[in-house]
Amino acid sequence: MIGDSVEVKAEDVNNKVVKILGKSFGKAKAKRIAEVLMWSEMCGIKTQGLVKLTGAVPLQNVKPTGKITITKKGRNSSVINGYNNSGALVAQVGVDLAIKRAKKAGIYAVGINGYNTSTGTLSFYANRIADAGFIGVVMARSIASVAPFESIDPLFGTNPMCYAFPTKDKPLIFDMATSALTWYGLVRAKMLNEKIPRGVAIDKNGNITEEPVEALEGALLPFDKGYKGSGLGMVVEIFAGILAGGRFSDTEPENSASLFILAIDPSVLVDASEFRSKCSEMIKRIKSARTKSGNNAIRLPGERAHEAYERCIKTGVVDIDEATLRAIGFIK
């Protein structure tokens, strides 16, 4: 279902992205936003990458209505209103705050609402929290597009949840959408004029469809097509929607996305160094578990993405959809 892609120099395309975003937001902010988009492309998560600069309402066209503002502050929590600034920027402000405050508070929660478009891949933010030594939990509510189990109306967002844990080595990251396909997966399939996999979405009458246009009028399904995936989508709708001061269970496009961040210093419960060692030991046990075929190649969550990222860093080259590169004017 994927269109053609080409290998391009990561630096060049990053410069192009910064230039596009810089016109709208200034260079400093553009750089921060570009970092999130490029991270996704380098991790191979194309649905959260430069595709966000394309489509009907591209990221660079959003108009902030004010400064990013802390609207509520407690001893171990804050709420941030993004005033229509880009989600990728506002989320970084929230993550920075969570890390700074968790050092003292031990456990720190941030609710973020009022920003424009989604934040991009959550692993970027959770990874940063774990890099600072904390357990990172990040959940995002987005425009209702997923039908709860047994229903055919969209009431939950694709609602990803991401967990990152510090280890002795790089953070262990688990990032998943609670939907069977991401929203940008739909948008991207539409842009590329491709079908979507069978069984991930229904049309407005509840019939399974492979047409992204019909799915956009209908609904996506929970990732497991069952009540557990649906329930997890609901959990995110509450944490990242209601608790974060955002919207919930509706299809209003305005301020549709909101975010919940939790940073936990493992040392509030156990010895932090022991926590890291044990996480590393667990990884070792998973990696060395038997497989049915006897071919020991078990992949950890996030491992494929991390390897792709490291490869890009090493080679300086990143693989990006031709259609996206054309849409942003990087190639003709």
Binding site for a second copy (CB under 8 A): 72, 74-77, 79, 105-107, 109, 111, 135, 147-153, 155, 163, 165, 174, 176, 205-207, 223-224, 226-232, 234-235, 237-239, 242-245, 248-249, 264, 266, 268-270, 275, 278-279, 281-282, 285-286, 289-292, 297-299, 301
Distance in Å, CB of 237 to a second copy, minimum: 7
Distance in Å, CB of 208 to a second copy, minimum: 10
Provide the sign of the torsion angle of the four alpha carbons 196, 1, 18, 80, taken in this order: positive
67-86 as b/e: b if 16+ CB within 10 A: ebeeeeeeeebbbbbbbbbb
Comparison of 176 and 323: residue with beta carbon closer to a second copy = 176
| Start-end of H helices in 26-168 | 27-43, 87-105, 122-131
Comparison of 196 and 234: residue with beta carbon closer to a second copy = 234
Distance in Å, CB of 183 to a second copy, minimum: 17
Comparison of 58 and 266: residue with beta carbon closer to a second copy = 266
Question: Is the Cβ–Cβ distance between 323 and 192 less than 8 Å?
Answer: yes
Distance in Å, CB of 42 to a second copy, minimum: 21
| Both structure tokens of 266 | 């493992």
Comparison of 187 and 238: residue with beta carbon closer to a second copy = 238
The string of DSSP letters for 15-59 reads HHHHHHHHHHH-HHHHHHHHHHHHHHHHHT-GGGTGGGGSSSS-G
294: Cβ contacts below 8 Å, ≥ 6 apart: none
Length of the chain: 332
Distance in Å, CB of 276 to a second copy, minimum: 10
Comparison of 107 and 317: residue with beta carbon closer to a second copy = 107
Distance in Å, CB of 22 to a second copy, minimum: 33
Comparison of 23 and 284: residue with beta carbon closer to a second copy = 284
Rounded to a whole number, what is the distance in angstroms from the first to the last CA of the chain?
23
- Mapped onto helix, strand or coil, the DSSP state of residue 309 is helix
